[in-house]
Structure 1
Amino acid sequence: MSDTWAGLRQRLLARYDEFVRRLTPRLGSADLAREVVHETYMRFERVGDIGVIENPDGYIFRTAINIARNKGVIERRYLNVSEIENLIGLADDAPNPAQIAEARSEMDILRRALTKLPSRRRAIFEASWVDGVSHAELALRYNVHIRTIQRELEQATMFVRRFWKENRT
């Protein structure tokens, strides 16, 4: 059977309720089914022959299902209302001015403590804690035994902790 886009539109209008009823269980909503049937109608706003369609109702139904799938893909890319509300209600993790001032004060205490360490001990402490250099690499770098590195780190850590407790208000 030869048909036109206009013929498909007329068939869709004539069986509108039937298409909505068939699509509703597949799409989960009568409103969505009506919307998809409308978009299907709009898609058939073309001119000219479309050739032979053996099952026009099946063609219309498959077109509507494809439109619904495409619509679902597009809608999944957007946030829904509850997701937006959750994002709006998120707490701001950025530090407030008081926290920034406190962190700067704490860094100042640490810097002062480090300046009081002997230079090699400070260098070992910073390389280990700040740069993550292994004890073995530090031992090679300073040409000492690993146990010496461990002792230097232990003493530096104890000194920094003690200085911290004494100078933190």
Structure 2
Amino acid sequence: MSGQSAFSQAAIAKLRPGGIDEVVRRHEGMLRRFIALRIGGGADVDDLVHEVFLRFARRPPDEGVERLDSYLFQTAANLIRDRARRQQVRRLAAPEIEEDAAAQVPATPEQTLIDRETLTQVRQALADLPERTRHVFLLYRIDGLRHQAIADALGVSISTVEKDVRRAMAHLTRRVRRP
């Protein structure tokens, strides 16, 4: 195989819906090696390979891909970069989180139940958000990235990031009820 697959819109259309199996069969090995070389192997390789093919399969049917290999490897590189950013933020935040947890008073069984119910509501509310809005919100609130960094990473405007954060906050406020 030359490593360069030219796929016109017509060729991609022929791949749907069952044709994704052919794309996976032809490119999974190369993609798996590409990712493993960059992150060192493990279960994350499987997750990232799966996410690459999932993103390919979710593309709109009329969206053409001129070079399938390039599309798949660029998607993988973007996912690897996002993963590294999240890990970096978590490493930096870990000592602070541990200090906060150690300073807290043990919760009562009633408070534990309330907290679990609230967490379930938050998870459901987050799952209901559009993918980009959820991703922006998590990068901002959980990973602690600034609006500019998020805009640069996702290739959107700062205004879009601000709107997504506001939209997510309003949605969570409406959906999550604390007793």
> Could you tell me the TM-score, scaled by structure 1's length?
0.43
Larger Rg, first or second structure (1 or 2): 1
Q: Which has the higher strand share?
A: 1
> Could you tell me the TM-score, scaled by structure 2's length?
0.40
